[in-house]
């Protein structure tokens, strides 16, 4: 089951890596049980790694490559990537909520509120119907 522990909504002109740094900076001390962070290739590099080491020094990072068996980042067609499918599946579940399917909100705090509501709805459905 995908679980949304924490989220921020930022403007589209902020790159994912920089948004990830913002998110991790707000996580300090909230989830001490987290041991490992899986990230895609957009989060590799010293800038993200150094910011992560400052915010959450105990957290190990694993960059999920496009094609881990062949050692490169290139793959032909659809390839299921380890651990990354969990994130993609959770995003797909959240996008079933009509309010999240389009960018209707004018304020980031409203978009974040509806994201949290959709996540609560998803968790409740999974807990009540564990089939």
Taking 70 as the pLDDT cut, the residues of the chain under it are 1-2, 66-76, 131
pLDDT at 76: 66
* C-beta neighbour count of 61 within 10 angstroms: 15
d(CA 95, CA 51): 30
In three-state secondary structure terms, 80 is coil
Residue 28 in contact with residue 125, Cβ under 8 Å?
no
Instruction: Give CA separation, 58 vs 52, 66, 121, in Å.
Output: 9, 26, 31
pLDDT at 68: 47
pLDDT at 70: 52
Domain spans of the chain? 16-128
DSSP conformation class of 57: T
């Amino acid at each position: 089951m995908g679980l949304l522990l924490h989220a921020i909504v930022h403007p589209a002109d902020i790159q994912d890596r920089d948004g990830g740094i913002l998110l991790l900076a707000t996580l300090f001390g909230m989830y001490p049980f987290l041991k490992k962070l899986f990230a895609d290739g957009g989060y590799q590099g010293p800038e993200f790694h150094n910011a992560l080491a400052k915010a959450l020094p105990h957290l190990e990072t694993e960059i999920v490559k496009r094609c881990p068996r062949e050692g490169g980042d290139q793959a032909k067609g659809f390839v299921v990537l380890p651990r990354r499918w969990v994130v993609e599946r959770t995003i797909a579940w959240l996008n079933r909520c009509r309010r999240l399917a389009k960018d209707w909100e004018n304020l980031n705090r409203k978009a974040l509120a509806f994201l949290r509501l959709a996540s609560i709805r998803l968790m409740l459905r999974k807990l009540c119907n564990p089939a």
